Copies of this chain bind each other. A is one copy, B any other.
């Protein structure tokens, strides 16, 4: 069965950044069969193409909205949904709320239920690919598979006991099994994601790096994010965080540095030379008062940069519209240049840039023949979406997550008319809430 999405402004994000004011995408067997201007459809199927039911084509009218590639969230911790809004403005939130609650309440079932809820939110917001990082990676990969999203689940390992492993060795072993299990899967994979540059020994970092590289998957970790991290590396080794990764031999094409806020010009060159990538989490970083990563310098140096929401405990919402708007305003204001980071470049970070950062640029991130049919339709009927002179500007400066109308991953329609097709948000929430109320989280629910 072939699906053709038509009657929309087609934003391809291909190499030529082609935009068609009246465009279409044809999908066959989960793949983009063609994408271009409506005239191509008319030439092939005649003027009233959408009325022809004999062709076995499912015609989907985009209603004049924007047809764009599914967005790529390059850094997330989906299963932290239960932490969203907990101690947001507390200075030592990590130690007061997050770590103790993770220890007391997090288990496989909660991680899975929260992950399922998180995927509902991602899909409804037009995110079709997510690089997630949490515990119980094999189980969360299973949820990704079941939900139909494209994703990489990174098993978080560190040199201390976690909710799913008494030792890093145990975590690595469980992840290794899951990595094997998902080898060759067309949408989902599992990798090893060490927690950060100073919370893992260099032996552990090297082990993870080697395994991720063998599977050709991202080796992603929190990098150059925290003051304590920077101080420790500076004091013990006289190095920046990126320099340290290079120093111990884990900075390469598969390395995806999450955050990368405090990086020197020398380290930006190093990222570029090694072919490493960056997951830019502007909303989370600035909410936590950690500063603005030098993304202009990174992209100019040729570093692949994608956008990330970070976990809902830090960035709150999992959509990239919020991140795109933050990205524009923070970088323009920091650079004191309203022309910096034009909307087109920001949509690029949220789509093909993210795909590049994850090593998935041959699979997703743009609407081109042969790529997976990861497609989003953003409606322009809502009050905030008129007029549209430039679809990039509308996506960055005007759109909100709720404008996402349809979402396809690998050709499967997962969101239609702003509703999940396969999953049920109410059920996902109810199951998660019931589980939360059985745990220590119940104590934070007011009035229960």
Task: Enumerate A322-347 residues with CB–CB distance to B below 8 Å.
Answer: 322, 325-326, 328-330, 332-333, 335-343
Q: How far is the CB of A141 from chain B (nearest CB, A)?
A: 21
In the assembled complex, A445 has its CB within 8 A of some CB on chain B: yes
Distance of A117 Cα from B385 Cα, bound (Å)? 12
In the complex, chain B residues whose CB is within 8 Å of the CB of A289: 332-333, 335-338, 340
Distance of A138 Cα from B328 Cα, bound (Å)? 36
Given contacts A338-B288, A402-B382, contact A387 B332 (CB under 8 A): no
In the assembled complex, A98 has its CB within 8 A of some CB on chain B: no
In the assembled complex, A17 has its CB within 8 A of some CB on chain B: no
Distance of A384 Cα from B425 Cα, bound (Å)? 11
Distance of A125 Cα from B328 Cα, bound (Å)? 22
In the complex, chain B residues whose CB is within 8 Å of the CB of A124: 383
Given contacts A286-B332, A446-B21, contact A89 B393 (CB under 8 A): yes
Task: Enumerate A380-420 residues with CB–CB distance to B below 8 Å.
Answer: 381-384, 386-390, 393-394, 397-398, 400-403
Number of copies: 2
Q: How far is the CB of A225 from chain B (nearest CB, A)?
A: 13
Q: How far is the CB of A94 from chain B (nearest CB, A)?
A: 10
Contact (Cβ within 8 A) A88 B120: no
In the complex, chain B residues whose CB is within 8 Å of the CB of A398: 84-85, 316-317
Q: Of B286, B319, B384, which is within 8 A of A384 by CB?
A: B319
In the complex, chain B residues whose CB is within 8 Å of the CB of A429: 386
Q: How far is the CB of A325 from chain B (nearest CB, A)?
A: 7
Given contacts A383-B121, A387-B445, A389-B444, contact A328 B402 (CB under 8 A): no
| Given A21-B446, A121-B384, A389-B445, 7 extra CB contacts under 8 A | A81-B386, A286-B333, A289-B335, A289-B337, A330-B330, A386-B433, A400-B402
11 of the cross-chain contacts (CB-CB < 8 Å) are A89-B339, A91-B339, A117-B386, A125-B383, A287-B333, A291-B333, A317-B400, A318-B384, A381-B426, A389-B444, A401-B402
Chain A: residues with CB nearer than 8 A to chain B?
Answer: 21-22, 81-82, 84-86, 88-91, 93, 117, 120-121, 124-125, 283, 285-292, 316-319, 322, 325-326, 328-330, 332-333, 335-343, 381-384, 386-390, 393-394, 397-398, 400-403, 425-426, 429, 432-433, 436, 441, 444-447
